[in-house]
Amino acid sequence: NAGVTQTPKFQVLKTGQSMTLQCAQDMNHEYMSWYRQDPGMGLRLIHYSVGAGITDQGEVPNGYNVSRSTTEDFPLRLLSAAPSQTSVYFCAVRRGRTEAFFGQGTRLTVV
Amino acid sequence: RKEVEQDPGPFNVPEGATVAFNCTYSNSASQSFFWYRQDCRKEPKLLMSVYSSGNEDGRFTAQLNRASQYISLLIRDSKLSDSATYLCVVYGSSNTGKLIFGQGTTLQVKP
């Protein structure tokens, strides 16, 4: 029982490259979210989903795309990486208004 | 104004001290409240939920003041292992699945 699995754990990208951060859960929770965490900024919501086929924008969606074709997976796509997207990314899953469980994070550097 | 605001600290206290953190939220219709703990840029983990009547878990006490829209966390008899960042988290008013995080308060407990 893995809970929430994020891959990769570390990534270095060149400006303009694209990539997908993976998030998978085996908890069968309906809510999945992506956050980024920067020094002094706390966790900021990028995109979230309340179920398969339903996604919506959070606080800082620009430059990121998501899709939710299954309950288990919620990938985050960086379309054209920029240095401003250097951050730590966390995926979180939750059922209703209960505890959120986080993946271990992806540390992304864009050079 | 941020939806959830915390004093970032750092709070530097000696072992055995009592320390309190406050958090304010702007949406009066917010429904659920939590304190999370985050160690050294690892993933956040639930410390405790916050109930209207207040609740206690060992050395930790959480309180909610809906009239003033703030949440507090009290830590008694601080341990070195309590050193971490404490995140105030609020669940939004509508059924959007959005959890909003404060920027976190850093606690450093010293011998």
User: Measured between alpha carbons, how far is B45 from B66 in angstroms, rounded to an integer?
Assistant: 24
| Long-range pairs, A83-87, Cβ under 8 A, ≥24 | A83/A15, A83/A110, A83/A111, A84/A110, A85/A36, A85/A110, A86/A110, A87/A36, A87/A37, A87/A38
Rounded to the nearest angstrom, the minimum Cα separation between A79 and chain B is: 24
Q: Span B103-107, mean pLDDT?
A: 94
User: Measured between alpha carbons, how far is A23 from B44 in angstroms, rounded to an integer?
Assistant: 16
Kindly indicate the confidence band of residue A3, based on its pLDDT and cuts at 50, 70 and 90.
very high
How far is C-alpha A93 from the chain's CA centre? 10
Q: Span A86-98, mean pLDDT?
A: 91
Of B31, B43, B87, the CB nearest to A97: B31
| Residue B21 at interface with chain A, using a CB cutoff of 8 Å | no
Contact yes or no for B99 and A100 at CB 8 A = yes
Residue B1 has pLDDT above 80, yes or no: no
Contact yes or no for B41 and A37 at CB 8 A = yes
| Residue B91 at interface with chain A, using a CB cutoff of 8 Å | yes
Q: Is B111 exposed, middle or buried (0-12, 13-18, 19+ CB in 10 A)?
A: exposed
Residue A61 has pLDDT above 80, yes or no: yes
Identity of the amino acid at B27: N
Mind listing the pLDDT tens digit for each residue in B56-85?
A: 999 999 999 999 999 999 999 999 999 999
At A1 the pLDDT is: 56
Q: Span A41-68, mean pLDDT?
A: 93
Question: A97 to chain B: which residues are within 8 Å by CB?
Answer: 31-32, 91
Residue B52 has pLDDT above 90, yes or no: no
Kindly indicate the confidence band of residue B96, based on its pLDDT and cuts at 50, 70 and 90.
low
A-B contacts at Cβ under 8 angstroms:
57
| Residue B100 at interface with chain A, using a CB cutoff of 8 Å | yes
Residue in chain B closest to A33 (alpha carbons) equals B98
In this structure, chain B runs to a length of 111
At A108 the pLDDT is: 97
At A42 the pLDDT is: 84
At A7 the pLDDT is: 96
Contact yes or no for B43 and A102 at CB 8 A = yes
Rounded to the nearest angstrom, the minimum Cα separation between B95 and chain A is: 9
Of B31, B43, B101, the CB nearest to A42: B101
- The contacts of residue B8 (CB under 8 Å, 6+ apart) are A40, B103, B104, B105, B106
| Residue B99 at interface with chain A, using a CB cutoff of 8 Å | yes
Mind listing the pLDDT tens digit for each residue in A4-38?
A: 999 999 999 999 999 999 999 999 999 999 999 99
Mind listing the pLDDT tens digit for each residue in B28-46?
A: 888 889 999 999 879 999 9
What the block records as the tokens of B48 is 């405790």
Contact yes or no for A49 and B44 at CB 8 A = no
| Residue B93 at interface with chain A, using a CB cutoff of 8 Å | no
Residue B97 has pLDDT above 70, yes or no: no
What the block records as the tokens of B61 is 């006490």
